[in-house]
């Protein structure tokens, strides 16, 4: 899922009305006697590839027709349809999101726990998103967050990627000593989302992972986040590594500005998610790109953060569950997901997909996806997240620890 903010447009609202009046849940029989199912997609950038995969499926299953739905602002349209008891048969929906979890608890999705095709996935991939020990989502790919770096410049200057936080601090010092700029940053509030991964991973590596981070943030008593806490001190120390170490005018830079600064070689490290790689490559950088994960306190404790991207659920209300199951099963096959992976490059849970030697730019982070060194976005247990983005950038720009502690308490106390 692209983490950039989506603007709800009039076209999206018009599409909602069209969808509600025209689509139903896609179930039924076509005039040719085929069983029809609707596949609702939110990966707009992968529409053409998914269309090819659907055609391949229909060739293997000539008695099934897949109606492929793509609309602007798919999340808003989906909420409207589900609230109107009009769920599509097969749905690309993000299982880390609060609305998915509530829908699953309310019986919107079919229980997939006993399906044999889950064995096609890496161990624990589906179980990560279980609700009350039941599986309602088949996560096929994941996004991930880390640090892009200029491999050519690192080699030229004799720099090495860090394996611990202490090494990361030393790396930043060495970059500055060689009269280079460490980070390409976008420190405006409009693009505050870009450092969400950094701040979340600071809490996670400090507190031992997802559970420890949320114990400190959202499960602790009200007002428990204090500047005197050891974990708060460490987190702010790690955030401080960004302060004053960005490109010129970083405090007024947008996401696009940060992409350009990195691609032009004006900064050697670009903190962001793997989804940013196409944007960097579109700038035609004249150097080789690599990535490394967020370093932990000790070697081997590095982490990435991310969550399911292409993930499929089946509506409990579907009139054609057998056909929907066949389609979801097909999507867990090498035939389907190899075609998807070769275009998208996002880490896949489908074990049969050949990933060796492909998308080497992201390998430094992708190697940890679907392992115990990837945590799910912490907001999986929050009721909102945008304010967290804003306080992150506010702190990096100001360095005001009292204000950050106050902001964190004000934000999380509403969830306690």
CA–CA separation, 189 and 2 (whole Å): 18
Give the count of alpha carbons within 13 A of 229, CB side only. Answer: 19
Say what the pLDDT of residue 28 is: 66
- pLDDT band at residue 4 using 50, 70 and 90 as cut-offs: very low
What mean pLDDT, rounded, does the chain reach? 93
Angle CA 153–154–155, to nearest 5? 90
What residues does CATH 3.40.190.10 cover in the chain? 35-143+307-364, 145-305+383-413
208 burial level (CB within 10 Å; 0-12, 13-18, 19+): middle
Q: What burial letters (b/e) apply to 32-42, b meaning 16+ CB within 10 Å?
A: eebbbbbbbbb
pLDDT digits (tens, 9 = 90+) for 391-416: 999 999 999 999 999 999 999 999 99
Are 312 and 90 in contact by the 8 Å Cβ rule? The answer is: yes
- pLDDT band at residue 44 using 50, 70 and 90 as cut-offs: confident
pLDDT digits (tens, 9 = 90+) for 342-365: 999 999 999 999 999 999 999 999
What's the CATH number for 35-143+307-364? Answer: 3.40.190.10
pLDDT digits (tens, 9 = 90+) for 192-230: 999 999 999 999 999 999 999 999 999 999 999 999 999
- Mean pLDDT for the stretch of residues 276-286: 96
**CA 37 to chain CA mean position, Å:** 27
Say what the pLDDT of residue 73 is: 87
Q: What is the pTM of this model?
A: 0.89
Domain 145-305+383-413 CATH (choose: 3.60.70.12, 3.40.190.10, 3.30.450.90, 3.30.930.10): 3.40.190.10
- Mean pLDDT for the stretch of residues 57-76: 95
pLDDT digits (tens, 9 = 90+) for 241-252: 999 999 999 999
C-alpha separations of 341 from 4, 107, 119, 330, 354 in Å: 22, 31, 19, 15, 9
DSSP 227: T
Say what the pLDDT of residue 31 is: 58
214 burial level (CB within 10 Å; 0-12, 13-18, 19+): buried
């Amino acid at each position: 899922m692209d983490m950039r903010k989506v603007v709800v447009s009039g076209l999206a609202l018009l599409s909602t009305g069209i969808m509600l009046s025209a689509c139903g849940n896609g179930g039924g029989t076509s005039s040719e006697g085929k069983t029809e199912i609707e596949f609702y997609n939110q990966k707009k950038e992968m529409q053409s590839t998914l269309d090819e995969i659907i055609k391949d499926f229909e060739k293997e299953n000539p008695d099934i027709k897949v109606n492929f739905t793509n609309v602007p602002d798919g999340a808003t349209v989906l909420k409207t349809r589900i609230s109107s008891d009009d769920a599509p048969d097969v749905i690309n929906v993000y299982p880390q999101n609060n609305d998915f979890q509530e829908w699953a608890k309310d019986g919107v999705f079919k229980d997939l726990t006993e399906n044999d095709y889950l064995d096609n996935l890496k161990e624990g991939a589906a179980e990560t998103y279980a609700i009350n020990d039941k599986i309602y989502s088949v996560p096929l790919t994941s996004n991930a967050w880390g640090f892009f770096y200029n491999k050519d410049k690192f080699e030229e200057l004799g720099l090495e990627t860090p394996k611990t936080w202490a090494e990361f601090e030393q790396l930043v010092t060495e970059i500055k000593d060689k009269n280079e700029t460490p980070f390409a940053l976008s420190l405006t509030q409009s693009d505050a989302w870009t450092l969400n991964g950094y701040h979340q991973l600071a809490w996670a590596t400090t507190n031992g992972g997802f559970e420890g981070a949320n114990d400190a943030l959202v499960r602790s008593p009200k007002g428990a986040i204090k500047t005197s806490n050891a974990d708060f001190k460490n987190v702010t120390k790690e955030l401080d590594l960004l302060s004053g170490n960005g490109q010129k005018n970083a405090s007024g830079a947008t996401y696009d500005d940060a992409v350009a600064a990195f691609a032009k070689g004006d900064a050697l490290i670009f903190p962001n998610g793997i989804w940013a790689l196409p944007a960097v490559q579109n700038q035609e950088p004249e150097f080789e790109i690599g990535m490394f994960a967020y370093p932990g306190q000790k070697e081997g404790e590095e982490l990435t953060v991310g969550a399911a991207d292409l993930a499929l659920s089946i509506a409990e209300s579907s009139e054609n569950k057998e056909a929907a199951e066949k389609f979801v099963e097909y999507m867990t096959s090498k035939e389907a997901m190899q075609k998807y992976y070769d275009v998208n490059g996002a880490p896949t849970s489908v074990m049969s997909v050949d990933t060796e030697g492909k998308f080497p730019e992201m390998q430094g982070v992708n190697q940890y996806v679907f392992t115990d060194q990837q945590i799910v976005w912490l907001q999986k247990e929050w009721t909102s997240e945008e304010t967290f983005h804003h306080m992150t950038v506010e702190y990096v720009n100001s360095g005001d620890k009292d204000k950050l502690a106050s902001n964190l308490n004000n934000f999380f106390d509403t969830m306690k």
